[in-house]
Amino acid sequence: MPVLNWKHHTLIQALMSRGPLTEDELFNIFADVTGKNPRGNKRELNDYLLKINKELSYVQMEMRCCRNQNDGGVCYGLVNTVPDEQSKLGTKYSVPQIALFKGVIEAIVQDVTALGSISNIDALNIRLENQVQNGTGSEYQEGPSQIPPALRNFSMSQKEKTLDELVRDNWLCHTPDGAIGLGARSYLDLRSWFNSSGIPSCEVCNEAGVKGKVCQNEGCTARIHHHCLEKKISHSRVLVLMNLLSRYQQLTDSVNFTS
């Protein structure tokens, strides 16, 4: 008897055909397929994910969830577990396209202000030869004649089309102010790379702080995600309110006692 039934396959197919899903989207699909609502009790969903991942491990894939640092929402997706950036992009993209993507990723994660995005102009002006190694294992620095034609002849219009394609595939996204940010698929697939690439971790959740608030003190590299900061502030307000209510109750009890 097969380990995975049609319900498991339906979840896998949904992620394969539609790409990364928000938590609400996956929950709705799970509820439609199984008749059980995972909201408030994720045990049934987690059991499904464990069985799915056990089978997917044979093909070096995994169903994973993470926080999308753009909006703080939880997203789910199928990821390639092979520790190689190029293999994660598959065979769909050409060498120049992968070089452009790598350049955008590096520009975003190396930004000390943790904006989580770069301008469209900066993305288009990325030097592709800096992202590809030559036969000696170093970047091309000998001059234009040594740069492979595929990189040298990659036009601005081709870069624009590539950025649009990466946005459609959820590797990148357009931010509200028109910049280029990381898409849900990047946060899912490149999570391990982000956490091991020297990006300062969020002070609350300990995940790589690609996008968030940075400490304004000179020399301090502390960061905190916007969604983590909101939760922290909200939690602090609750504690203050509980303290005020406790003090009010003590005052009321004291007045009632003396009267």
pLDDT digits (tens, 9 = 90+) for 191-227: 888 988 889 999 999 999 999 999 888 888 899 999 9
Q: What mean pLDDT is predicted for residues 166-189?
A: 95
Looking at per-residue pLDDT, the higher value among 68 and 83 belongs to 68
pLDDT band at 136, cuts 50/70/90? very low
The confidence score (pLDDT) of residue 243 equals: 64
Backbone angles phi, psi at 15, to 5 degrees: -75, -35
Domain boundaries, the chain: 6-82, 92-189
The confidence score (pLDDT) of residue 235 equals: 61
What is the fold, at CATH topology level, of the domain defined by 6-82? Answer: Aspartate Aminotransferase, domain 1 (3.90.1150)
The confidence score (pLDDT) of residue 207 equals: 93
Decide if pLDDT at 77 tops 50.
yes
CA 27 to chain centre: 19
Q: What mean pLDDT is predicted for residues 84-106?
A: 83
Q: What mean pLDDT is predicted for residues 52-64?
A: 94
Nearest-angstrom CA–CA distance, 108 and 221: 16
pLDDT band at 48, cuts 50/70/90? very high
| Reported pTM | 0.82
Q: What is the pLDDT of residues 224-239, one digit of tens each?
A: 999 998 887 766 655 5
Nearest-angstrom CA–CA distance, 78 and 73: 17
Looking at per-residue pLDDT, the higher value among 34 and 82 belongs to 34
**Among residues 79, 117, 77, 123, which one has the least CA distance to residue 226?**
117
The CA-atom distances, in angstroms, between 100 and each of 9, 106, 154, 257 are 34, 10, 10, 74
Decide if pLDDT at 151 tops 70.
yes
The confidence score (pLDDT) of residue 135 equals: 44
Decide if pLDDT at 106 tops 50.
yes
Which CATH number applies to 92-189? 1.10.10.10
Nearest-angstrom CA–CA distance, 200 and 211: 10
The confidence score (pLDDT) of residue 197 equals: 85
Q: Which of 18-27, 46-55, 143-152 has the least mean pLDDT?
A: 143-152
